[in-house]
Structure 1
Amino acid sequence: MDSRTTSFNILMFPWLAHGHIFPYLELSRRILKRKNFHIYFCSTAINLPSIKNFIDENKLENSIELVEIHLTSQELPPHYHTTKNLPSHLNFTLIKAFQTADSSFSNIISNLKPDLLIHDGFQPWSAKQAVSQGIPAVPFAPFGAATLSVTHYHYRFKDPSFPFLPLCLPDQDMETMDRLAEFLSAHVFYDDKDGPFMTQKLSSDIILLKTSKGFEGKYIEYYSNVSDKKVVPVGPLVKQENTNEEGDLEVLKWLSMKDQLSTVYISFGSEYFLNKEEIEAVAKGLEISEVNFIWVIRFPIGEKITLKEALPQGFLERAKERGIVVETWVPQAKILTHPNTAAFVSHCGWSSVNESIYYGVPIIAMPFKLMMLIDARLVDVEGVGVMMKRDESNLYMGEELAKTIKKVVFDESGHELRRKVRQVSDEIKRVEEEELDEAAEQLWQLCLKKKERV
């Protein structure tokens, strides 16, 4: 059947976090280049403006339609129907409230009658509703195969021959994972024995992962075997930026005046806020290391605090020649591609890990919770970064950060890290288009099978 004349409709339904929404958007953009799909993109009202910006920037208004879903829960006001700027103590409340969207979704899928649903992990009811109407459902997890392999080992089957034990977390780090698992079991999966893997059991033969065989080949193969599904990597989905347009961005002007491979970039993502002790540890590490730095620091919306108040007394003055601290948006991709950037101190959110590796920048892994703790171990084990050590109280110390920065930026071992991460970057880029072609073809075939059944 000619894919130029046939068209299929896909309903994309990610979790309400920007770290999930934008991989779904980037995947949409890339499969639209390959096949004659039409995308319905479903989210809450508060998320739709930023999604629309992406659609407009990429001139996709004829290919992607927005669909608003409604949460009937009264526990949270509509401006909190997103993880962006959501106070951390309300994260579980939002997950619970999200479950009340099932009736709204039922109306959406009945009215749209898509040829395929691509869905996230916090809404198993979406896959059930699709399958009950003869619509194939495909889970897309914006995580890595290593993380899912370790999670499967911990919560589904303690395989005595599990080959990736160095990635497994110690008991003290499993506490946050266990709390989330218990909550999801009670409020999302309703004590189903398959728990977070129940959506994969409902899937139509394949699972999409935001990863690449160029980095996670052995983990992809392992997870395919234990899940009894074909794991289809869609690549890192790193957004390409025009690195020639520096314009008047002060941070890039400042970076350009530094020496090659002299500067460390520090960012902990848009949804993790450092506490006072963590801020002091990072500041101390940067002072002791005497390295150039760009530090992005964020505070919860509504918190009345200035940078000067948050940082150790006199830090900004003492560090003004070597570093800048910003609390606004910065062009992360452009910073990582800059020849003067030597390393990325990261919380190891999966998108940040992918971006850093894609651009060939070693990672200094400083994770705080959940999947990021596994991602940090992966970075360390695979030789594309170094995981920070914590003290006996499980806290990060400034002295240890300084030691790690010096090791990565100045020591001979840092040269080996850069060689390794660039090698992995080259391999990811080599298979990138091929993986996307394969993913688009797999989705197309599922739509064709559905059409043949009707």
Structure 2
Amino acid sequence: MATVYARLGKELFLNIHNISRTVRKEEVALAAAKKMAQDKETVLHIVMLPWLAFGHMIPNLELAKLIAEKGQRVSFVSTPRNIERLPKVSQNLATLINFVKLPLPKVQNLPQNAEATTDVPYDAVQYLKKAYDALEEPFTRFLQSSKADWLFYDFIPFWAPSVASKLGIKSAFYSICTSPFLGFLGPPSFLIDNDSPRQKPEDYIVVPPWVTFPSTVAFRYYEIMRIVDSLSSQNNSGFSDTYRYGASIQNCDIAVVRGCTEFEPEWFHLLENIYQKPVLPVGQLPSTAPVGSEDNETWRWMKDWLDKQARGSVVYVAFGSEAKPTQDEVTEIALGLEKSELPFFWVLRVQRGPFDPDVLRLPEGFEERTKARGVVCTSWAPQLKILEHVAVGGFLTHSGWTSVVEAIQNEKPLVLLTFLADQGINARVLEEKKMGYSVPRDERDGSFSSDSVAESLKLVLVEEEGKIYRERIKEMKDLFVNGERQNRYIDNLIHNLKKLSNV
């Protein structure tokens, strides 16, 4: 009988033990599920502080929209006039994106109402940077009351990460420029210190020693000379752009970079090595059409003209909101378009804001001679909608990355003509990958002829020899605009932001 009781006791113990194990497993699974649910329910508040250039503000807004679509809150900080000029966001995102208007402090030599680089001549941009630096105090006051989890900031406000750190807010340097450009710039210590290995313009026209893989990515001499003033701390803003980049990168918690590892893996790997901190790609951020753009009267007359042109025949010409060709360059571009005998739609900025004294002019008789097959538009034009039109067969562009992405998402081959900033580096990347053809230029002064413009356009749009550029753009489209891939990049970004901020 004792043996029977012992056996029953052992069985009872084992049953209770098994039940306890099952309960514990269920409790662990329930806790994990609860944590996942809480993670999904946790809403981040991200403050975005872009530089006052539309080539920077628009990619910031595109990222803000993608973050808001995931249910996270964004405060987008800029000046009143810039916010009024930004594309409107859809109704369903308006509750999650808060536009914060900070008036731009007045600075001597900066024209009244000038709040973006598009409003002023190139020489006055340094005063705009100085005014932007004066936003530090009002921005600090806003950040103190914002209850933000993260600050995303551009390269100009190099002071922003220190402000965030003092308030216990994590910071991310968000670069709208690509990983090849950042990789070419090099380690933050070189950008900040005066003993940088780059001491003269010629040092920027060779591949730097920290780029250990085969590459042709470097500036041309004429490209670096066009922006050499921004490399000097003697400019009127008080800080060189290289210093701003270096301090911005050195003081952030993480770097967030526009681009994807499938397109430029070696460059992202290089950044991780030279930054010694997390570098998160956020995809190519393909542009979305502004809300209500379908009914725009400006677009209607443009569409009417494009509808009359043969499929794939039109050259679209535009150089962004900042790049302004010289008068000689405008003349050669115009005569090149005329000699190409191709239909064209040219968006020409004749001056940078109302205070620009140098108003560009077309060659005498040009518009009359080409009116049967060309349009020159000197006001705003909806670039994305123009590139979407089937009549457009190619794009003569400055190589600004937003324009490049918009061309690729619409399968338009690229003819490249660089002017400012990172455009030369972008052009080298596109040349390497056979995604764009650069107009031949003099290596020293950057001059080019109307014949080289005409020949480049015909090569890329029409001739058999240029078929590789037309086909390559189509091949790259999925890599740039695949919705699932872009979605994964944003999911990964938000996951890492929550993980790093312990929310």
TM-score (norm 1): 0.89
1:14-48 deviation per Cα after TM superposition (whole angstroms, max 9, x unaligned) = 111111112111111111112x3221121122222
Give the number of the structure whose alpha-carbon radius of gyration is greater.
2
The whole-number CA distance in structure 1 between the counterparts of 2:234 and 2:272 is: 23
Letter in 1 for 2:273: N
Q: How does 1:261-300 map to 2 (within 5 A)?
A: 261-300=312-351
Letter in 2 for 1:79: N
The whole-number CA distance in structure 1 between the counterparts of 2:355 and 2:142 is: 38
The answer on whether the counterparts of 1:213 and 1:428 sit within 8 Å (CA) in structure 2 is no
The yes-or-no answer on 1:215 pairing with 2:263 is yes
The yes-or-no answer on 1:18 pairing with 2:51 is no
The whole-number CA distance in structure 2 between the counterparts of 1:303 and 1:405 is: 33
1:59-100 deviation per Cα after TM superposition (whole angstroms, max 9, x unaligned) = 433112222334445323551132232222210111122111
Alpha-carbon deviation of 1:168? 1.0
Q: Decide which of 50, 62, 68 is 2:95's aligned counterpart.
A: 62
Letter in 1 for 2:48: M
Distance 1:246 1:50, change over 3 A: closer
Moved more, 8-17 or 254-263: 254-263
The yes-or-no answer on 1:148 pairing with 2:167 is no
Residue matched to 1:180: 230
Q: How does 1:43-192 map to 2 (within 5 A)?
A: 43-51=78-86, 54-55=88-89, 57-75=90-108, 76=110, 79-152=113-186, 155=191, 158-159=208-209, 162-163=212-213, 165-183=215-233, 187=237
The answer on whether the counterparts of 1:123 and 1:188 sit within 8 Å (CA) in structure 2 is no
List gaps (5 residues or longer) in structure 2: 1-34, 198-207
The answer on whether the counterparts of 1:214 and 1:424 sit within 8 Å (CA) in structure 2 is no
Letter in 1 for 2:468: E
1:206-239 deviation per Cα after TM superposition (whole angstroms, max 9, x unaligned) = 3111222343333222222222233222222222
Q: How does 1:358-437 map to 2 (within 5 A)?
A: 358-391=409-442, 393-430=445-482, 431-437=485-491
The answer on whether the counterparts of 1:71 and 1:104 sit within 8 Å (CA) in structure 2 is no
Alpha-carbon deviation of 1:374? 1.3
Alpha-carbon deviation of 1:256? 2.2
Alpha-carbon deviation of 1:427? 1.8
Moved more, 395-404 or 413-422: 413-422
The whole-number CA distance in structure 2 between the counterparts of 1:190 and 1:182 is: 5
1:219-262 deviation per Cα after TM superposition (whole angstroms, max 9, x unaligned) = 22222222223322222222233999588612222222222221
1:338-373 deviation per Cα after TM superposition (whole angstroms, max 9, x unaligned) = 222221001111211121122221111101122111
List gaps (5 residues or longer) in structure 1: none
SS in 1 for 2:88: helix
The whole-number CA distance in structure 2 between the counterparts of 1:101 and 1:436 is: 29
The whole-number CA distance in structure 2 between the counterparts of 1:420 and 1:437 is: 29
Residue matched to 2:249: 200
The whole-number CA distance in structure 1 between the counterparts of 2:245 and 2:293 is: 43
Alpha-carbon deviation of 1:396? 2.2
Distance 1:432 1:413, change over 3 A: farther
The whole-number CA distance in structure 2 between the counterparts of 1:178 and 1:304 is: 21
Q: How much is the aligned-residue C-alpha RMSD, in angstroms?
A: 2.9
Q: Decide which of 269, 274, 278 is 1:230's aligned counterpart.
A: 278
TM-score (norm 2): 0.81
Q: Decide which of 69, 74, 78 is 1:33's aligned counterpart.
A: 69
Q: Decide which of 319, 326, 333 is 2:370's aligned counterpart.
A: 319
Distance 1:360 1:444, change over 3 A: farther
**How many residues in Structure 1 have an aligned counterpart in Structure 2?**
443
The whole-number CA distance in structure 1 between the counterparts of 2:356 and 2:176 is: 33
The whole-number CA distance in structure 1 between the counterparts of 2:160 and 2:175 is: 15
1:140-181 deviation per Cα after TM superposition (whole angstroms, max 9, x unaligned) = 111111111112279566426533541112444323443212
The whole-number CA distance in structure 2 between the counterparts of 1:60 and 1:31 is: 10
The answer on whether the counterparts of 2:229 and 2:235 sit within 8 Å (CA) in structure 1 is no
Distance 1:37 1:432, change over 3 A: closer
The answer on whether the counterparts of 2:286 and 2:480 sit within 8 Å (CA) in structure 1 is no
